[in-house]
Chains A and B, each alone.
Chain A
Amino acid sequence: MQLFLRGIVLPFQKGKALERGIENLTPDSVRLPVATDDSVFPLAQLSPDTLKGQGEELCLLDGMPVVSTISGTVEGTLMIHHPLYGPLQCADVLASGSAESRLPIPKEEELTPDAIIEIARQAAVYDELDGIPLWEKLTHWQMTDEDLAPLHSVLVADGTANDVFGSAPWAVLKDQPGMVLYGLQMAAKAIRFTRCHIATMLPKKRRRALKKAVGRANVYIVGDEYPVTVFADKHMETYRIGVQACLALAQAIKQGKRHTHTVVTVAGSALPAPRNFRVPFGTDIDVLLSACQAQGGYRLVLGDAMTGITSEYRHVPLLPGMTTILAMMPRRVRTPGPCIGCGRCADICHAGLLPYEIVRRSENMHYERLQHLSPTACDGCGACSYICPAGRDVAAEVIEAGKTKGTVFLHWGEDDHE
């Protein structure tokens, strides 16, 4: 029993995550974002001919193509309000076959840092942690940390599966540990880091297997607290990329493959058992859920159980940055009570904030005091909402306070159209 509360440990609900493999699934149709004239993203125009002729669709998400190996005919386009990416113009592609064009495979001596980043860009590798293109992240880090990087910084492949249900990173690490390590080393080379390791919180038995596969020095075991904030020894500056991004980079360099598939965990209290699928980007989430025999009446959550977003619309295409899909049975939501000041939210806040004080200030409209409490330092992990004995959604209120920061009056009426 921990007397002084520091951080929280979430219940383990991954089921038999250790033995679970990855199932391949090819859908009948995919939905991929395309360019429109008034598109918010800097997208390129897509002509249906490209699709038919090449058997490979290139369209852009945030200035970067989302690649698919599915070839087929475009049934039409429709506007989708994607819960994570906002409104997207999507093309419905009815699959008739699959084709893949490979990138040229570079020689070992050609792999300069810039060349690796270029490969990541051409192969359209996305980081599954946040859906940002890997090359953008790497270029950014390469630029900012040129002088102080190597000694005190470490590049970490995040294989923690730091949420209650997700097990996709574990499955990937079990499947191809060598490739993940190679991709990680290449990414580290691209930003001229000498240190890199795979961070994971696997149970002991699997830890040993992983250490055997990739070498003891390349594995770092993190604590099982939520959220994981320490990915390396304390004095090290950490930079994080996803395990799947490492794998995709390795496959691009060694086999010339583009990043076309992602491994996603479909789980939740409404499903008989969680499963991992390897599916192409653009797959309809509804296909995955029906493959898992989801019963009706559940609530669809995109992302993990702590920070995910509920969506009533089920035909959402799977895009980079999504690794967990949950079908949760609706639980009884209690009416939130008043804050009684137990102070647990402050005890467990890994950013060292005072969530209750931020909420109180914002409720009492002391907006000018908010910035002294640094609400912008909140990363929305949701731990305070989890722990609150009064049942308040503290995290949402803190994020709201961080967004408005005393300019709440300027934002009035902004949400009216929804």
Chain B
Amino acid sequence: MSNKKGPYLHTEARVSRMVFDMILAAVVLGVFSAVTYGPRPLLVMAISLITALACETVCCIIGRRPLRMVLDGTAAVTGLTVGLLMSPMVDTWVPMVGTAFAIVVAKAPFGGTGRNVFNPAAAGVALLTYCFPQQMFTYPSIQSQHALPMELILDKSEVVTEVSLAAQLKTGAIPSIDRLDILLGNYTGAIGTTAFLILLTLTCYLMVRRTVSPWIVIPYFATLALITWLFPLSSMNPVNSFLLQLGSGYVLFAGVFLINDPVTAPRFWLGRLVYGVLSAALILLMQRVGRFEAGTCFAILLINAFAPIIDRWSWHGWYRLTHLRQKREEVLE
């Protein structure tokens, strides 16, 4: 006699659906970048993706995990995220190093999918930022109409480069860029970070599909707005200041991809709210006083370390608050 308990119904929501959403978002961003720079961004993303899958396969074999776990897609999302944070003219070995570090060092040793403490993509990009800032932060000019050559290692002298918004802000200069140009993504930057309106649209899409949690995203952007309103970039119009801050570095991109990684974010709604607020504050701090023009990944790693404790404390606080009345009654009895 066997009595199996458990619901005989299940929602249609699946992890695969969430992963599909993220991959779709990444592909949309890649295509937008390809429109400007030619197919090279897609090549960078593809190399990153293949490296991620290969590393995950090796890790599964070594860790004696079933090989089907490679196909759950989380490694693909990590690979694509690293690819999206590359400069379109980066040498192709750079995303390979970043992705391999992400999977082999930041994900697999912790136990694979669902157990990593730090966002693998953020860890990979942080390593690259620290070791190869030249590769990471040299961006092709948006003005040149020629598609980037498809060679694996570009001759940098052939490409017209341009200083990114974040680098201009870092030197204390105020970039002379129109509000409309920012919204249309008419500035240079990493592959996935310049499509301003598309990123905002993707955020809404992912929120409606419940792939990302509004409890993180909305506090994140609200805090960014509040901080840029309170401390605008050198006497600028707050709206311009806000848009410029979002467009510089990975700030807007992080709001869609990096901080919303469910594995490394808190899961309780109050914890998520606190996490959103804190990550916005830390990212802006890193962006403004940090050494690199894009310090977002360091901020993400820092806040990831505190995510479990934020989660636990916020739940305990909330549970005690809501169950205070009952407890008092119990004590009275």
Contact = CB atoms under 8 A, between A and B. Distances in A.
A and B assemble together:
yes
Given A3-B207, A338-B113, A389-B11, A343 B267 contact: yes
B17 interface: yes
Contact of B14 (A5, A328, A391): A391
A4 B217 CA distance: 12
A385 B262 contact: no
A326 B315 contact: no
Nearest to A8: B11
B114 interface: yes
Contacts of A306: 7-9
Contact of B214 (A3, A374, A389): A3
Contacts of A301: 8
A354 interface: yes
Contact of A340 (B10, B113, B210, B318): B113
B267 A356 contact: yes
Given A340-B74, A341-B262, A357-B312, A389 B5 contact: no
A341 to B, nearest CB: 4
A58 interface: no
A170 B223 CA distance: 50
Name which of A3, A308, A331, A356 has the most chain B CB atoms within 10 A of its CB.
A3
B2 A310 contact: yes
Interface secondary structure of B, over-half rule: loop
A357 B310 CA distance: 13
A10 B9 contact: yes
Given A5-B210, A310-B2, A387 B11 contact: yes
Nearest to B209: A1
A312 B1 contact: yes
B114 A393 contact: no
A310 B3 contact: yes
Contacts of B151: none
Interface string B39-70: 00000000000000000000000000000010
Contact of A342 (B18, B69, B72, B315): B18
Name which of B7, B215, B319 has the most chain A CB atoms within 10 A of its CB.
B7
B265 interface: yes
A8 B7 CA distance: 14
B112 interface: yes
A255 B41 CA distance: 83
A136 to B, nearest CB: 22
A340 B115 CA distance: 8
Interface string A4-23: 11001011000000000000
Interface string A362-387: 00000000001010000000100111
Q: How large is the interface on A (under 10, 10 to 19, 20 to 34, 35 or more residues)?
A: 35 or more
A317 B113 CA distance: 46
B7 A386 contact: yes
Nearest to A330: B8
Contact of B2 (A312, A346, A354, A372): A312
Contacts of B272: 343
Contacts of B72: 337
Contacts of A5: 210
Nearest to B68: A335
Contact of B9 (A342, A372, A386): A386
Nearest to B9: A305
Contacts of A390: 15, 114
A393 B114 CA distance: 16
A180 interface: no
B317 interface: no
B322 interface: yes
A3 B204 CA distance: 10
Contacts, number: 123
A389 B15 contact: yes
Contacts of B17: 389
Contacts of B3: 83, 309-311
A56 interface: no
A113 B268 CA distance: 47
Contacts of A11: 9
Interface string B250-285: 000000000000111111110010000000000000
Contacts of B35: none
Given A3-B207, A312-B1, A354-B268, A343 B9 contact: no
Contacts of B14: 389, 391
A310 B4 contact: yes
B72 to A, nearest CB: 6
Nearest to A4: B214
B319 A164 contact: no
Nearest to B112: A338
Nearest to B207: A3
A128 B215 CA distance: 41
A301 B3 CA distance: 9
A5 B214 CA distance: 10
Given A312-B1, A342-B262, A382 B215 contact: no
A311 B8 CA distance: 13
Nearest to A343: B267
Interface in B289-333: 311-312, 315-316, 318-319, 322-323
Contact of A352 (B4, B113, B319): B319
Contacts of A328: 8
Contacts of B6: 382, 385, 393, 395-396
A306 B11 CA distance: 12
B10 A386 contact: yes
A322 B32 CA distance: 59
Contacts of B265: 341
Contact of B8 (A331, A356, A389, A395): A331
A81 interface: yes
Interface string A281-323: 0000000000000000000010001111111110000000000
20 contacts: A3-B207, A305-B7, A310-B3, A337-B114, A338-B113, A341-B264, A342-B213, A343-B269, A343-B272, A344-B13, A346-B315, A352-B322, A357-B311, A382-B7, A385-B6, A385-B7, A385-B10, A386-B11, A389-B11, A389-B14
Given A340-B262, A357-B267, A357-B315, 6 more contacts: A301-B8, A305-B8, A338-B114, A354-B268, A385-B6, A386-B7
Interface of A: 1, 3-5, 8, 10-11, 81, 83, 164, 301, 305-313, 326, 328, 331, 337-344, 346-347, 352, 354, 356-357, 372, 374, 382, 385-387, 389-391, 393, 395-396, 418
Kindly list the 8 A-B residue pairs having the minimum CB-CB distance in the complex, ordered from nearest: A343-B267, A338-B114, A341-B262, A382-B7, A310-B4, A305-B8, A389-B13, A306-B7
